[in-house]
Amino acid sequence: MSTNFGNKLVVAISSRALFDLSESHEVYQNQGLKAYAEFQIAHEDEPLKKGDAYPLVEKLLRINKLLVEDPRVEVILLSRNSADTGLRIFNSIQHYNLDITRAAFCGGESPYRYVSSFGCHLFLSTHSEDVRQALDSGIAAATILPSKTTQSSSGQLRIAFDGDAVLFSDEAEKIFKKEGLAAFTKNEKASATRPLSVGPFKAFLAAMHEIQSEFTPGNCPIRTALITARSAPTHERVVRTLRDWKIRIDESVFLGGLNKSEFLRAFEADIFFDDQDGHCQAAREHVPTGHVPSGIANK
């Protein structure tokens, strides 16, 4: 991974996740690329509406204002637009005073190949195939799902994670899927002192933890939560894994199979990452949600 940004948390986001491009995308689908380009150029001085991931990006960049001498967050735009049609996107970034200065406009091709070059810890996109390719390259990535939720009232950046196949590998989930709950519970009890293998979002969580460590607990602009279907006694292996990683999770909610949605709304998550599509579809009615197409649930 590139080290061009030193100790910064680097997040890449697609233009359609950051802004609402539904109108221009409809032009592209119905009338083709030429009409789309003409539409974008004709409207390039008209700011785009905020997209589903906009509030998350806004809160990420706000952290830099608390660390003025050593800004710790870099957000990079990755887009399938050309630079010509992408001018409207940069104009919108300037309109909203977002501190985003770096971008890759890929002229119709997937921008995922630049995720590693920029040294990104996280890639967010509405294009599921780009997300899968980034995950295959070892980068945390999620497909941003359409959501009608309003921005969280919390001034903190609040990020919630599922456990298995997101923070951790899917090794335990494979047992659950193939052999059932009893076998899963037996295995997790027997393996309680053996840390789970690393999942796709571990490096991103670790980078978040590094920034959190620069603040006192009562004054931290970031709050994290693990919201998992696990329950006792399978919770112990999770707790010991995070302890082994020396990573702090502010809140851990072990639901034993209960629906996660109400708990996510109570936490006021700015985004929730989960590998299972059914959980994501339920969650997006309450909070912004990113589907992580990793692990056995997505084979």
| Spatial CA neighbour of 222 closest among 238, 240, 239, 210 | 210
162 flagged as catalytic = yes
Fold entry, domain 157-298: Rossmann fold (3.40.50)
The predicted structure's pLDDT at residue 151: 65
The predicted structure's pLDDT at residue 194: 96
CA distance 188 to 150: 38
Domain range list for the chain:
9-143, 157-298
**Mean pLDDT within 118-138:** 94
Confidence band for 34, pLDDT divided at 50, 70 and 90? confident
**157-298 has the same fold as 9-143:** yes
The predicted structure's pLDDT at residue 49: 93
**Mean pLDDT within 202-231:** 94
What DSSP string runs through 14-65? EHHHHEE-HHHHHHHHHH-HHHHHHHHHHTTTSPPEE-TTHHHHHHHHHGGG
Place of tokens 């009338």: 31
CA distance 196 to 172: 8
The predicted structure's pLDDT at residue 141: 97
Which among 52, 162, 270, 275 is annotated as catalytic? Answer: 162
**Mean pLDDT within 214-235:** 93
**Which class would CATH give 9-143?**
alpha beta
Confidence band for 2, pLDDT divided at 50, 70 and 90? very low
Confidence band for 216, pLDDT divided at 50, 70 and 90? confident
**Mean pLDDT within 122-134:** 95
